[in-house]
Structure 1
Amino acid sequence: MTITPVHIEIDGLPVPDPALTASLMSGYGHFTALQVREGRVRGLALHLARLDGAHRELFGAGLEAGRLRSLMGRALHGAGRADASLRVYGFEDAVVVTVAEPYAFDGSPQLLMSVPYVRPAAHLKHLGGFGQAYHRKAAERAGFDEALLTGPDGAVAEGAITNVAFWDGEQLVWPSAPHLTGITMALLTRRLPCALRPVTLADLPDFRACLVTNSRGIAPVSRIDRVAYPVDEELLSRVRGAYEQVPWDRIG
């Protein structure tokens, strides 16, 4: 049974809508993250489909694409931004849009530390992110840039906030263990030779190169634990070139 609060105070000040505030604080919801440039975003249809599908799964009703685009455009206009990091959150009682400074990978090689953790309901970009945040912070304290989430028998799944791909000399191999299909991953899969198959920690030395992707861009991986990878500039150029060919979709 859900208990709806009738009064909530934050730092001693009452909030005007306790039920809505409780919903936002519940941690039960989903989101998508976008990099916006000049009011446009790559893979907009995929982001909208992600939000609609997750909302249907979590709450039994979808989110209409036109409404989402209107809310996103309104938030950008309210912030006075054409370039931004945008997040759209779906809760049972509200859609929340946040606007922040634009961000991109600086392109520097990433160091990954493997950790024994797989996200629950990994196919969803949900708000239950304590586990991945915990492991990512631990990786950073250990001198790494990102955590590599792994399951039973060392099955590689994904990064804490990234997808990971391995180059076998012919195609990009995306691990098939439970993971979120990132928008950048999906866009690259349409444009490059790719395979989805099991990858374990024991397999890592067999690959020629590795990279990570998310809404912020694409970066090479130079080491996972003690397994080192060369930075394959030709591969990076090819992958980034394919991503650059993705058209920008206007939000409004």
Structure 2
Amino acid sequence: MTTTELVQRIEIDGQPATAGSLLWPALVTTGHFTAMQVRGGKVRGIDHHLARLDAATRELFGRELDGERVRGAVRHILRDDIDDASVRVYVHAPDGEPSLMVTVREPVELPDGMVARAQALMSVPYQRPFAHIKHLGGFGQARHGELARSAGFDDALLTGPGGKISEGAVTNIAFFDGTRVVWPDAPHLAGVTMQLIEARLPAAGLPTSHAPVTLADLPSYAAAFVTNAWGVSPVRRVDDVTYDVDEKLMATVAGVYEAAPWDTI
């Protein structure tokens, strides 16, 4: 699923973006970001978002990033007139110190019903560099996603040597063997939705594990699903391997995600 809504607002360090202030973000791809869905001024997993931003800022720029600064920047751009939105927080360091660019778009809602949101994925031989960071400059994954959609798929599935599956172009992927949810043990970004779900599935009767999964292994799994900031969706096909939508599995996974609390920004 893609979204083409235009950005409604852009602020950089609490100020409306100008042509001058946008030069660095437009021309320099050293940076990182997090993406969140805001509903009623709240976000699921805000602590995970803040931890992601702080860890990547320390790794890339050698500086810490105060979570309250991030919260304040998001609250400032939403003001009192936007309750529901797609929000991204970007971190650059044009002068060596972290600078926050926050953007607001229309909120994204997945289709009702799991069958309607089921995904077809095309495997591609590509892995994101520094995959643990949600970094900028993702031409490779974006281009593979475009090629997948032009071939009639919904998105790309990134793989490494030997067909080892790592993640979707903009999602995490998990497989179900009939008993256990298996997350591919390969370089990937641990998405916030993935973290929220993985931590809560065992209490819902679904044990989880991380293990290598290759394209050759796909027929041995009963079902698969993907997660990202928009929510959870079943996978109906990877290349020529098809899966039925497991309504019971997806009800459990979606229920666990929907039960995750909304945090005040």
| TM-score computed with the length of structure 2 as normaliser | 0.86
Is the aligned partner of 1:84 residue 2:85?
yes
1:100 aligned residue: 105
| Structure 1 unaligned spans of 5+ | 1-13
Contact kept in structure 2, 1:27 and 1:127, CA below 8 Å: yes
Question: Within 2, Cα distance between the matches of 1:167 and 1:74?
Answer: 41
The code of the aligned residue for 2:139 comes to F
Question: Within 1, Cα distance between the matches of 2:216 and 2:136?
Answer: 31
2:263 aligned residue: 249
- Comparing 169-178 with 199-208, greater Cα deviation is found at 169-178
Q: How far 1:24 moved relative to its partner?
A: 4.7
The code of the aligned residue for 2:59 comes to E
Question: Within 1, Cα distance between the matches of 2:235 and 2:132?
Answer: 23
Pairing partner for 1:45 from 24, 44, 47: 47
Question: Within 2, Cα distance between the matches of 1:138 and 1:16?
Answer: 34
Q: How far 1:171 moved relative to its partner?
A: 1.6
Question: Within 1, Cα distance between the matches of 2:25 and 2:197?
Answer: 35
Contact kept in structure 2, 1:42 and 1:247, CA below 8 Å: yes
Matches within 5 A, 1:2-41: 15-16=19-20, 21-22=23-24, 24-41=26-43
1:124 aligned residue: 133
Q: How far 1:16 moved relative to its partner?
A: 4.0
Is the aligned partner of 1:54 residue 2:63?
no
The code of the aligned residue for 2:53 comes to L
2:225 aligned residue: 211
SS at match of 2:124: strand
2:118 aligned residue: 109
Question: Within 1, Cα distance between the matches of 2:134 and 2:19?
Answer: 28
SS at match of 2:123: strand
Q: How far 1:22 moved relative to its partner?
A: 2.7
| Structure 2 unaligned spans of 5+ | 1-17, 202-206
Matches within 5 A, 1:187-226: 187-192=196-201, 193-226=207-240
Question: Within 2, Cα distance between the matches of 1:244 and 1:15?
Answer: 40
The code of the aligned residue for 1:194 comes to T
Question: Within 2, Cα distance between the matches of 1:60 and 1:245?
Answer: 36
Question: Within 1, Cα distance between the matches of 2:192 and 2:183?
Answer: 13
| TM-score computed with the length of structure 1 as normaliser | 0.90
1:161 aligned residue: 170
1:11 aligned residue: none
Aligned Cα RMSD in Å? Answer: 1.3
Is the aligned partner of 1:233 residue 2:234?
no
Question: Within 2, Cα distance between the matches of 1:197 and 1:92?
Answer: 36
Contact kept in structure 2, 1:24 and 1:91, CA below 8 Å: no
Say which one has the larger Rg. 1
Q: How far 1:92 moved relative to its partner?
A: 0.7
Q: How far 1:172 moved relative to its partner?
A: 1.1
Aligned residues: 235
Contact kept in structure 2, 1:23 and 1:92, CA below 8 Å: no
Question: Within 2, Cα distance between the matches of 1:120 and 1:138?
Answer: 20
1:6 aligned residue: none
Once the two structures are superposed, residues 146-176 of structure 1 have per-residue CA deviations (whole angstroms, 9 ceiling, x without a partner) of 1000000000000000000000111211101
Question: Within 2, Cα distance between the matches of 1:127 and 1:23?
Answer: 10
Pairing partner for 1:139 from 148, 169, 175: 148
Identity in percent: 54
Question: Within 2, Cα distance between the matches of 1:162 and 1:105?
Answer: 14
The code of the aligned residue for 1:150 comes to T
The code of the aligned residue for 1:102 comes to P
SS at match of 1:239: helix
The code of the aligned residue for 2:249 comes to L
SS at match of 1:32: strand
